[in-house]
A and B are shown apart, each in its own frame.
Chain A
Amino acid sequence: MSFLIIDKVNKVYTGKTNEEIVALQDISLSCEQGEFITIVGSTGCGKTTLLRLIAGLEQPSSGTITIGENAVTGINEEVTLVFQQYSLFPWYNVLDNIGFSLELKGVDKHERIERVQKLISLVGLTGFEKSFPYELSGGMQQRAAIARALAYNPKVLLLDEPFGALDERTRHRLQEEFLAIWEREKKTIILVTHNIDEAVFLGTRIFIMRDRPGKIEEEVLIQLARPRSRQSKEFTDLHLHVRETLENILE
């Protein structure tokens, strides 16, 4: 029995003129604890909706999602999501943002600061503890948001194009840093992206999605050794394969 199971999930919205819009159709996937799943697909294929369902922010129209022993029926502490848009609380500084969940749990101040400091150095934000989100660059804000999610210590971490708004160099650096964090913390990660390179570089498995309706087109197992080289033939072959699949969908 797998750790996370998505079983025949459908999501249907009702449009303005009462027509049915099928956002997700028959999505089934399962993954083991500690896996790094990446999902690629063009904009509007329902990737974000899928993450929202797993996070419990929305309910599927039919089908079930199970994490561990429990079916997901709403927001729960097994899972959290890092949004694509900047989501740090603008009225808190970096320290209070990252320590948000710890304070809610009633962790005492000394321990909280200690744990937050560890995360701050983990994501490379040392020296910015007292900075407010508006004083940080986009990349730094996303690191803080990831640290905030890690502080919550969920078993499953969902990421919605977390590096999407960044330039290529910053993105590559953050990807590498994030891989190191994943290898240390051994979390189950589902990362959604439209960037093929990112999906191949990070994932243990890639799910390629098609749009209208959102469906899983293909599953690709990536057995490249880490650290992965973007220049290797295996990497570029996989990259090409995913690209071809995506292009076939568009036709």
Chain B
Amino acid sequence: MKTVFNFCKKHAVSLILPLCIILFWEVAAKVVDNRALVPTVESVLKRFFHPFADLLGIGNYLHHIFASAFRVIIGFCMAVVIAMPLGLISGRVPILSRMINPVIEFLRPICPIAWIPFALVIFKTYSVANLFGVQYTRSIFGDIQIGMLFVIFYGGFFPIFVNTVYGVTSAKNIYIESAQLLGCGKRQLFKRVILPSALPSILTGLRIGLGNSWMVIIAAEMLPGSEAGLGHLIMYAYELADMDIMIFSVILVGIIGSLLSHGVKLIENKTSTWQAKER
């Protein structure tokens, strides 16, 4: 009880606005008095306490969180594995960066969602399970559509790439020269100076990229071919006009999104204290 009180005391200022919003919502629900339009706070939030209850006949919410998260993890990891090394190399090899920059700058402003129809045409609704030759399966891999991975990858790729390049190219000359004057060769320079000085920026790229991927997956799941995921749940609830579950799912999306961002932020704070304090 005491710890709860202390927590509230410490975060009192940050709690004011959320409480106001909830209050406003409750008042609005009372005034409108139509649950199909504005559900009550209680009817939405109570769903948190029933994680295993089936929603609309398409599974419980943990199932949908899991489906969305799994897609993002795989698609995002693909983006990291390709964007980061590419960024590191192109940041150090000017000719390579001049070669790929025009393409990057053209593709970057295109919203990943604009590619979804294209992805549907190319990859149809093939899943990772199909890739392994399994025709139909209820396993989790059956829920991971290639087209979705493509748009998640797209959403994650550019922030990671751009921030990695920025980090690598903005390593301060004085650190590079100091290292060289202390007998640091090229390979060691990359490991001991360029990489550590780029790390804060790389982590920022990862955080933004992960956030993008999470946004994109929800949108992708709303489109045809999806049979699970929070985006699918939102759309399905819309079709059945179940406002409770719609809002509940949106809140889940928000909570998970901010947890993801916060998680990377924690790593950032731990590894890049020096950068925040530098100026």
Q: Establish whether residues A91 and B174, one from each chain, have CB atoms under 8 Å apart when the complex forms.
A: no
B43 at the interface (CB under 8 A from A): no
Residue count of chain B within 8 Å CB distance of chain A: 22
Binary contact readout A81-92 vs B (1 if CB under 8 angstroms, 0 otherwise): 101010101111
Which residues of chain B have C-beta atoms less than 8 A from A100's C-beta?
179, 182, 184, 192
Q: Establish whether residues B182 and A133, one from each chain, have CB atoms under 8 Å apart when the complex forms.
A: no
Query: How many angstroms from the CA of A77 to the CA of B185 in the assembled complex?
Result: 12
- Min CB distance A26 to B, Å, is 26
Q: Interface SS of chain A: helix, strand, loop or mixed? A: mixed
Of A87, A89, A101, the residue contacting B183 (CB under 8 A) is A101
Residues of A137-191 at the interface with B, using a CB-CB cut-off of 8 Å, are 148-149, 152
Q: Establish whether residues A152 and B183, one from each chain, have CB atoms under 8 Å apart when the complex forms.
A: yes
- Min CB distance B269 to A, Å, is 14
A134 at the interface (CB under 8 A from B): yes
Of B174, B175, B183, the residue contacting A77 (CB under 8 A) is B183
B278 at the interface (CB under 8 A from A): yes
Which residues of chain A have C-beta atoms less than 8 A from B192's C-beta?
89, 100, 104
A240 at the interface (CB under 8 A from B): no
Q: Establish whether residues B274 and A132, one from each chain, have CB atoms under 8 Å apart when the complex forms.
A: yes
Which residues of chain A have C-beta atoms less than 8 A from B196's C-beta?
89, 91-92
Query: How many angstroms from the CA of A80 to the CA of B178 in the assembled complex?
Result: 8
B180 at the interface (CB under 8 A from A): yes
- Min CB distance B190 to A, Å, is 13
Query: How many angstroms from the CA of A210 to the CA of B259 in the assembled complex?
Result: 62
Query: How many angstroms from the CA of A244 to the CA of B17 in the assembled complex?
Result: 69
B249 at the interface (CB under 8 A from A): no
The 8 closest A-B pairs by CB, nearest first: A134-B277, A90-B274, A91-B196, A101-B182, A87-B178, A80-B181, A87-B174, A152-B182
20 contacts between A and B (CB under 8 A): A55-B181, A57-B177, A57-B181, A81-B181, A83-B178, A87-B175, A89-B175, A89-B196, A90-B197, A90-B275, A91-B197, A91-B199, A92-B196, A100-B192, A104-B182, A104-B184, A105-B183, A134-B278, A149-B182, A152-B182
